[in-house]
Amino acid sequence: MDIALVRAPNPSPYTLDGTNTWIVGRDPAWVVDPGPALGAHVSAVAAAVRERGGAGGIALTHDHPDHAEGAGALRDALGGPPMRWPGATDRLADGDGFGPLRALHVPGHAEDHLVFVAGDGAFTGDAVLGEGSVFIAPGGGSLAAYLDGLRRLRALGLARLYPGHGPVIEDPAAKLDEYVAHRLEREQRVHAAWAAGARSDDELLAAAWDGIPAGLRLPATWTLHAHLDKLRAEGRL
């Protein structure tokens, strides 16, 4: 499919180089993740959509501000095309279609997080990043459900993944295998640390994480607790 990227100027430890807004197709074009409410970014996305014949609709993978905050302004700028997101009244759910996009539920980073499949590609939001791994947020759904979602995505045999942050993923199978293996290896380390007597967050993080980048200790702690919840649910602690 004819896909364009407009990257928002909001770099941070959480957003890497910035939030990726994807524009899919032409006559009409479809927007995935409008991004933050930054005037220059909203204007750039609107201009790119107009160049492609106008908007068929706007889709959001989830409602975190770095992906969704600019949605209202973009919709106004484009004349009010339909907009769908997991938390909307007319929400998209697993298997629903919206223009060329088909929703796949992949919770974990957010409870109602969706991935949008189009042709042989998928727009993964914060379920899969172009670089690094995602954190499992409180109330985002279980780590087990996240792993199941990654495996469902892997089974589709896609050619490319278009993440919410970072570069395009040209080998989805390898990336998804890496993501699942990373989580299971981290789980083993958490379990081993617990078995050795570690109980505090500090002890478990030190044992199971090789290093935590500056500013990311809180999401690492959230992810630690997602691992502990999974191990408890499986009767392994």
Supply 91's token pair: 């929400």
Contacts 24+ apart (CB under 8 A), 219-223: 219/14, 219/135, 219/137, 220/135, 222/135, 222/136, 222/137, 222/138, 223/135, 223/136
Residue numbers annotated as active site: 66
Long-range contacts of 36-39 (CB under 8 A, 24+ apart): 36/8, 36/10, 36/65, 36/66, 36/69, 36/70, 37/65, 37/69, 37/70, 37/72, 37/73, 38/8, 38/9, 38/10, 38/70, 39/73
Pairwise CA distance, residues 35 & 149, whole Å? 23
C-alpha to C-alpha distance for 8 and 40, rounded to whole angstroms = 9
Question: Which residue type occupies 211?
Answer: G
- Give the residues across from 13 on adjacent strands: none
Encoded tokens for 11: 């770099």
